[in-house]
């Protein structure tokens, strides 16, 4: 039992869902071999990004006659890994083009996804297409990556930074932003409007999409805030100051390349602050075209492995799943009620209010926070470094 195409599999993508731009790349290896056991059955394995790739590459042609028959007859599992992504939208394409059009039985399809909510989408689409659900697993490659990177660094004598010392902090929080996702622009604009940028180490500069404050993304942020008067007024009253902000850089001026790996070059940013404001990938939950799953990328696991308390700027109900994985979150030292707020604009306001409160801690309040959070950070670090399971079957 094994992956039958282990040394000859492909990565598929269909950028912007345009079949003319679809790509099929041969891959000699993958981290997936370390994330789960593939020795229990025979598998045919592919990695993909956008689900529309299965419209561009018919699965029977992709597999070839022999492998197609192995999967269709129940002798092998078709394993599809949405590697590094949490695209719930991919499920529709799998049912449409693989289960229904190609006739591969649902029980012979396994979807590996970084989406913690992939099962609910699988069940919804199964009902919509009137077929049994495919198998799915929640895969945490970024958790595995961060553990691996830290183990390698320790072997080279690079130990975790000594965070949360009881001392004076000129900067209170750390907030990395690379790609100009709408919620990151909304957050940084709000921090500017509320006068909170001087309290933090914040990055947001020219990245791979070439967005800036004048390119229209902030106009869209203001449009999205219209139903929340308090937020809309903050943006409107401070528009001139917001759109005139310069690019902000921290450890590097290269925000085009995705620097997902762990490095000692940022250690000073963790030791010189006592709060991490994580700008995760997903945030908005009710806007068409936006993925709204709970996605735990390296942005979440870096603060854990760097022993840094955090607020997560992401979709609601993000923290309970972390606790399910064995980690602790930071209540009562951080007011985590923001995570229960379903309204996106109100959740952003609650996050900014808590950043403001924590940025102004002094004296015994700050000391109690540092001591309390340090114990939680130690627990989380030890939990991560002792992890052995990084893929969780959901059905």
C-beta of residue 288 within 8 angstroms of C-beta of residue 297: no
Same domain, residue pair 72 and 102: yes
C-beta of residue 71 within 8 angstroms of C-beta of residue 78: yes
pLDDT in the model for residue 92? 97
Q: Which residues pair with 200 in a beta bridge?
A: 173
Closest CA to 113 of 90, 94, 86, 92: 86
C-beta of residue 231 within 8 angstroms of C-beta of residue 225: yes
One digit per residue, pLDDT tens: the chain, 395 residues?
799 999 889 999 998 888 999 999 998 889 999 999 999 999 999 999 999 999 999 999 999 999 999 999 999 999 999 988 999 999 999 999 999 999 999 999 999 999 999 999 999 999 999 999 999 999 999 999 999 999 999 999 999 999 999 999 999 999 999 999 999 999 999 999 999 999 999 999 998 888 999 999 999 999 999 999 999 999 999 999 999 999 999 988 778 777 777 888 999 999 999 999 999 999 999 888 889 999 999 999 999 999 999 999 999 999 999 999 999 999 999 999 999 999 999 999 999 999 999 999 999 999 999 999 999 999 999 999 999 999 999 99
pLDDT in the model for residue 7? 85
Same domain, residue pair 209 and 323: yes
Degrees, nearest 5: CA angle 358-183-221:
115
C-beta of residue 32 within 8 angstroms of C-beta of residue 72: no
| Last-in-domain residue among 116, 139, 162 | 139
Same domain, residue pair 254 and 379: yes
C-beta of residue 79 within 8 angstroms of C-beta of residue 112: yes
CA–CA distance, 277 with 355 (Å, rounded to integer): 8
CA–CA distance, 22 with 315 (Å, rounded to integer): 30
> The CATH number of the domain where 188 resides is what?
3.40.50
**Domain range spanning residue 189?**
144-388
Number of domains in the chain: 2
| Residue position matching structure tokens 């419209």 | 55
Same domain, residue pair 246 and 172: yes
CA–CA distance, 38 with 313 (Å, rounded to integer): 35
Same domain, residue pair 210 and 354: yes
């Amino acid at each position: 039992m094994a992956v039958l195409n282990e040394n000859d599999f492909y990565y598929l993508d269909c950028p912007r869902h345009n079949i003319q731009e679809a790509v099929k790349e041969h891959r000699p290896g993958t981290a997936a071999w370390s994330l789960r056991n593939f020795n229990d059955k025979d598998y045919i394995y592919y990695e993909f990004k956008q689900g529309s790739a299965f419209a561009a590459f018919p699965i029977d042609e992709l597999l070839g006659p022999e492998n197609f028959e192995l999967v269709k007859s129940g002798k092998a599992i078709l394993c599809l890994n949405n590697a590094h992504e949490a695209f719930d939208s991919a499920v529709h394409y799998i049912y449409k083009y693989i289960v229904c059009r190609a006739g591969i039985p649902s029980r012979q399809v396994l979807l590996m996804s970084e989406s913690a909510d992939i099962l609910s989408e699988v069940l919804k689409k199964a009902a919509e297409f009137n077929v049994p659900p495919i198998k799915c697993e929640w895969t945490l490659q970024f958790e595995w990556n961060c553990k691996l990177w830290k183990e390698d660094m320790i072997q080279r004598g690079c130990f975790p930074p000594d965070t949360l010392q009881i001392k004076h902090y000129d900067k209170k929080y750390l907030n990395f932003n690379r790609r100009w996702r709408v919620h990151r622009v909304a957050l940084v604009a709000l921090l500017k409007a509320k006068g909170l940028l001087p309290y933090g180490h914040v990055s947001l500069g020219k990245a791979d999409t070439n967005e800036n404050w004048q390119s229209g993304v902030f106009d869209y942020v203001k449009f999205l805030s219209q139903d929340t008067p308090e937020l809309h007024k903050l943006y409107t009253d401070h528009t001139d100051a917001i759109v005139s902000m310069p690019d902000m850089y921290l450890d590097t001026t290269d925000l085009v390349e995705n620097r997902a790996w762990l490095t000692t070059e940022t250690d000073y940013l963790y030791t010189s602050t006592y709060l991490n404001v994580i700008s995760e990938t997903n945030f908005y939950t009710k806007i068409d075209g936006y993925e709204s799953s709970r996605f735990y990328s390296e942005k979440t696991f870096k603060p854990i492995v760097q022993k840094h308390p955090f607020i997560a700027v992401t979709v609601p109900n993000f923290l309970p799943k972390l606790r399910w994985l064995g980690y602790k979150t930071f209540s009562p030292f951080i007011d985590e009620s923001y995570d229960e707020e379903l309204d996106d604009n109100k959740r952003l306001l609650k996050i900014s209010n808590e950043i403001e409160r924590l940025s102004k801690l002094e004296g015994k309040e700050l000391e109690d926070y540092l001591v309390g959070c340090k114990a939680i950070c130690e627990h989380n670090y030890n939990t991560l470094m002792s992890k052995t399971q990084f893929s969780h079957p959901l059905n």
